[in-house]
Amino acid sequence: MERQALAGRDFIETIDWSVEEIEEALSLASELKEKFKRGEPHRLLPDKTLFMLFLDKSTRTRNAFEAGMTQLGGHAHYLDAEKTQVAHGDSPKDMGVILSRYGHGIAVRHDLIPYEGNPYMRDIARHAEVPMINLQCDVDHPTQTLADLMTIREHRGQGLKGLRVAVSWAYAPSYAKPLSVPQGLCTLLPRFGMDVVLAHPRGWDLMPEVLKKADRAAAEGGGSISITDDMDAAFEDADVVYPKSWGNLELFRDESAALAASRRYQDWICDARRMSLAKPEALYMHCLPADRGNEVADEVIDGPQSVVYDEAENRLHTGKALMALTMGGPA
């Protein structure tokens, strides 16, 4: 397909893009990764500006997009929502209209309140005249899962049909984390023929409407989605394991209650015993930051099967590809 065909497109959920369009983004990400390694300039967005509005904290996403935009020849503005008029009532319409007139793209992170972040982004996008990129919402973390798919391919090749991926809840005492990563994996990976086994304790269900999307995606892509409340069962014979914590949807507005409820499941940890249930060459993945000693044992995340730093590295290159394609960079 023509890369220019994606100019002006929003990237809010991976399911909004066709498999062909996602393949184009991955292809460009690989090209840009090679150019970066060779030290070859790739200023596809000279003098262009991306406004990044964060309603939550960030390390990898912010730095990947700031560094990436610089490498593309443009500039990324970091906007802390608490230090902007968003905190005093600037509406999504205001943000969409005005930032469109100041620059060439808008990116937003709004992930901590279920059923708020995704509609907020879509409202901005409706009023904006420039592309909107989702830097993580309550429904999806599409820039992360695109990097995850790129990483799996780098380690397992292009033919992923039938690959068994265990996406499991894991215990973390720190805070009620968003559901967006497991939901994003469920709506993306089966489109490429992978079989996702989703594991979580009873009560830690994903959004039902997202699971319906995932089922449709699986049917169209030749993959599958299955659900279990047994972490060991999910890990058995897995090619990839992706254990991470997420919050209880019903208790999301009462974090102390959610964390108290999760303490019953402190044995939901990815350790050497659980890794032994998966295939010997199984990949361990995590979007980071991982809660060491709770979500995962050091021996696993620092072990030979871990590809977490490859995933984090690929955030830079997939982010650059998305910006270049949507913000009008040349092929």
Q: Tell me: the pLDDT tens digits for 111-165? A: 999 999 999 999 999 999 999 999 999 999 999 999 999 999 999 999 999 999 9
CA dihedral 306, 312, 313, 316 (to 10 degrees): 160
Preceding peptide of 289 cis, ω within 30°: yes
How many domains, the chain?
2
Mean pLDDT, rounded, for 288-311: 98
**Residue 253's pLDDT band (cuts 50, 70, 90):** confident
Domain membership flag for residue 113: yes
Whether 87 and 150 share a structural domain: no
Gap between the Cα atoms of 188 and 217, Å rounded? 7
Q: Is the dihedral of CA 243, 194, 62, 111 positive or negative?
A: negative
Domain membership flag for residue 22: yes
For residue 116, give the 3-state DSSP assignment: coil
Whether 86 and 150 share a structural domain: no
Whether 15 and 54 share a structural domain: yes
**pLDDT value, residue 2:** 64
Place of tokens 């994996």: 185
Whether 149 and 293 share a structural domain: yes
Whether 297 and 181 share a structural domain: yes
Gap between the Cα atoms of 286 and 240, Å rounded? 11
Mean pLDDT across the chain, nearest whole number?
Answer: 96
Whether 150 and 290 share a structural domain: yes
End-to-end CA distance of the chain: 11
Gap between the Cα atoms of 279 and 160, Å rounded? 15
The phi and psi torsions of 270 (rounded to 5 degrees) equal -90, 105
**pLDDT value, residue 331:** 37
Domain membership flag for residue 106: yes
Domain membership flag for residue 174: yes
Gap between the Cα atoms of 140 and 52, Å rounded? 17
**Residue 1's pLDDT band (cuts 50, 70, 90):** low
Domain membership flag for residue 60: yes
CA dihedral 149, 154, 159, 160 (to 10 degrees): -40
Q: Read off the pLDDT of residues 55-84 as tens digits, 9 standing for 90 and up.
A: 999 999 999 999 999 999 999 999 999 998
**pLDDT value, residue 330:** 41
Mean pLDDT, rounded, for 38-52: 97
Please spell the DSSP secondary structure of 198-225, one letter per residue. EE--TT-PPPHHHHHHHHHHHHHHT-EE
Domain with 156 in it: what CATH number? 3.40.50.1370
Whether 162 and 114 share a structural domain: no
Q: Encoding tokens for residue 19?
A: 């498999």
Domain membership flag for residue 331: no
Whether 276 and 225 share a structural domain: yes
Partners of 75 in the β-ladder: 49
Q: Encoding tokens for residue 215?
A: 């089922």
The pLDDT > 70 percentage for the chain reads 98
User: Of 208-222, 244-258, 313-327, which gets the smallest average pLDDT?
Assistant: 244-258
Q: How many CB atoms lie within 10 A of CB 282?
A: 20
Whether 11 and 90 share a structural domain: yes
Scored b (16 or more CB within 10 A) or e, 79-116 reads bebeeeebeeeeebeebbeebbeebbbbbbbbbbebee
Helical pair 60-71 and 308-326, crossing angle rounded to 10 deg: 50
**pLDDT value, residue 252:** 86
Partners of 244 in the β-ladder: 169
Q: Higher confidence at residue 142 or residue 329?
A: 142
Residue 36 near residue 42, CB atoms below 8 Å: yes
Whether 230 and 88 share a structural domain: no
Residue 47 near residue 327, CB atoms below 8 Å: no
Whether 199 and 320 share a structural domain: no
Helical pair 308-326 and 19-38, crossing angle rounded to 10 deg: 110
What Rg value do the Cα atoms of the chain yield, rounded? 19
Domain membership flag for residue 158: yes
Question: Which amino acid would we find at residue 252?
Answer: F
List the domain range (segments joined by +) for residue 156. 144-311
Whether 78 and 206 share a structural domain: no
**pLDDT value, residue 221:** 96
Gap between the Cα atoms of 136 and 117, Å rounded? 8
Partners of 110 in the β-ladder: 137
Domain membership flag for residue 262: yes
Q: How many CB atoms lie within 10 A of CB 271?
A: 15
For residue 48, give the 3-state DSSP assignment: coil
